[in-house]
Amino acid sequence: MPLLDVDTLTIEIPTEAGLLHAVNGVSFTLERGETLAIVGESGSGKSLTSLALMDLLPSRAVRKARSLRFDGIDLMAAGRREMENLRGDRMAMIFQEPMTSLNPAYTVGDQLAEALRRHRPVGRAAARDRAVHLLERVGITAAASRLGQYPHQLSGGLRQRVMIAMGLMCEPDLIIADEPTTALDVTIQAQILLLLRDIQREFGMGLILVTHDLGVVARVATKVAVMYAGRLVETGPVEAVFGAPSHPYTQGLLRAIPVPGRTKPGEPLGTIPGQVPNLIGPLAGCAFRNRCDRATDACAAAIPDRDLGPGHRMACVLDPVAVPA
Amino acid sequence: MTVPVLELENVTKIYPVPQGMFKPKAMLTAVGGVSLSVARGEVHALVGESGSGKSTLAKLLLGLTKPTSGEIRIDGVPIARTDRREVARRIQPVFQDPYSSLNPRKSVADLIALPLVAHGIGTSASRQQKVAEMLDAVGLPRRMIDAYPGQMSGGQRQRVAIARALVMQPDVLICDEPTSALDVSVQAQILNLLMDLKREFKLTYFFISHNLAVVEHLADRVAVMYLGRIVEERGREALFTGAGHPYSRALLDCVLTPDPTLGMPEAVIGGSFPNPIAPPPGCAFHPRCPRATERCRVEAPGPVPIADGAAACHHAA
pLDDT (mean) for A1-30: 95
Report if residue B69 sits inside a domain.
Answer: yes
B82: distance to nearest CA of chain A, Å? 33
Task: Give the CATH number, domain containing residue B175.
Answer: 3.40.50.300
User: Is pLDDT of A192 > 80?
Assistant: yes
Cα separation of the two ends of chain A: 39
Residue B237 within any structural domain of the chain = yes
Whether B228 maps to a domain, the answer reads: yes
Among B133, B113, B112, which residue's Cα sits nearest to residue B123? Answer: B113
Residue A320 pLDDT grade (very low, low, confident, very high; cuts 50, 70, 90): confident
Residues of B within 8 A of A213 (CB-CB) are 256
Which residues of chain A does B260 touch, with a Cβ-Cβ cutoff of 8 Å? 218-219, 221, 238-239, 242-243
Q: What is the mean pLDDT of residues A236-240?
A: 97
Helix (H) or strand (E) holding B76: none
Helix pair A248-256, B184-201: axis angle to 10 deg: 50
pLDDT per residue as tens digits for the range B263-304: 888 767 766 678 888 889 999 999 999 899 999 999 999 999
Within a domain: residue B214?
Answer: yes
Amino acid identity for residue B260 in this structure: P
Best A219, A242, A312 member to test B by mutation, with max B CBs in 10 Å, is A219
pLDDT of B239: 97
Q: What is the pLDDT of residue A180?
A: 85
Task: Kindly give the parts of chain B with pLDDT less than 70.
Answer: 1, 267, 270-272
On average, the pLDDT of chain B sits at: 91
Distance CA A155, CA A161 (A): 10
Q: Is the pTM of this model over 0.95?
A: no
**Does any CB of chain B come closer than 8 Å to the CB of residue A274?**
no
| pLDDT score recorded for residue A324 | 52
ipTM comes to: 0.87
**Core vs surface per residue B253-280: b (16+ CB within 10 A) or e:** bbbbbbebeeebbeebbeebbbebeebb
Tell me which residues of chain B, numbers 86 to 145, contact chain A at a CB-CB cutoff of 8 Å. Answer: none
Distance from CA of A255 to the nearest CA of B (A): 9
pLDDT > 70 fraction of chain B, expressed in percent and rounded: 98
A156–B50 CB contact, under 8 Å: yes
Chain mean pLDDT for chain A: 91
Chain A CB contacts of B96 under 8 Å are none
Res. A63: pLDDT tops 50:
yes
Sheet containing B26-38: order of strands: B26-38, B6-17, B69-74, B77-78
| Nearest CB neighbour to B188, from listed A139, A157, A256 | A256
Closest to A276 (Cα-Cα) out of B155, B102, B149 = B155
SS3 label, residue A6: strand
Residues A170 and A116 sit within 8 Å (Cβ to Cβ): yes
Q: What is the pLDDT of residues A128-177, one digit of tens each?
A: 999 999 998 887 878 888 999 999 888 777 888 899 899 989 999 999 99
> Quick check: A252 contacting B, CB < 8 Å?
yes
User: Which among A5, A27, A28, A12 has a CA at the least distance from the CA of A64?
Assistant: A12
- By residue count, chain B amounts to 317
Q: Which CATH architecture has domain A4-90+172-315?
A: 3-Layer(aba) Sandwich (3.40)
Percent pLDDT > 90 in chain A is 71
Contacts of B210 in chain A (CB under 8 A): 185-186
Query: Model confidence over A198-237: pLDDT tens digits?
Result: 888 888 999 999 999 999 999 999 999 999 999 999 999 9
Please indicate if any CB of chain B lies within 8 Å of the CB of A259. Answer: yes
How many helices (H) and strands (E) are present in chain B, helices listed first? 10, 12
For residue B31, CA distances in Å to A155, A187, A315 come to 20, 21, 52
For residue B50, which residues of chain A lie inside 8 Å, CB to CB?
156, 185
Whether residue A241 is predicted with pLDDT greater than 50 in this model: the reply is yes
A144 touches chain B (CB under 8 A): no
Chain B, nearest residue to A250 by Cα: B185
Query: What pLDDT is stored for residue A196 in this prediction?
Result: 87
pLDDT at B1: 60
Q: Structurally, how many domains does chain B consist of?
A: 1
Q: What is the structure's pLDDT at A124?
A: 92
Residue of B nearest to A194 (CA): B264
Q: Does A311 touch chain B (CB under 8 A)?
A: no
CA atoms within 13 A on the CB side of B234: 27
* Of A44-53, A94-103, A220-229, B137-146, minimum mean pLDDT range: A94-103
Q: What pLDDT does residue B268 have?
A: 72
Flag whether B35 is in a domain.
yes
Give the residue on A whose Cα is nearest the Cα of B156: A275
Residue B287: domain span? 6-100+171-311
Strands A174-178 and A206-211: parallel
Which is nearest to B297 in space by CA: B313, B283, B315, B311? B283
| Annotated domain spans of chain A | 4-90+172-315
Give the one of B153, B185, B217 whose C-beta lies nearest to A258's C-beta.
B217
Beta-carbon contacts of residue A39 (< 8 Å; ≥ 6 apart): A46, A211, A212, A213, A214, A217, A224, A225, A226, A227, A253
* Residue-level pLDDT at A325: 44
B39, B218 Cβ separation under 8 angstroms: no
3-class SS of residue A215: helix
Yes or no: say if B149 and B104 are a contact pair by the CB < 8 Å rule: yes
Gap from A189 CA to chain B (nearest CA, Å): 8
Region A47-73 average pLDDT: 95
Output A48 or A283, whichever has higher pLDDT. A48
Burial class (CB in 10 A: 0-12, 13-18, 19+), A226: buried
- Residue A69 CA to residue B139 CA, distance in Å, equals 47
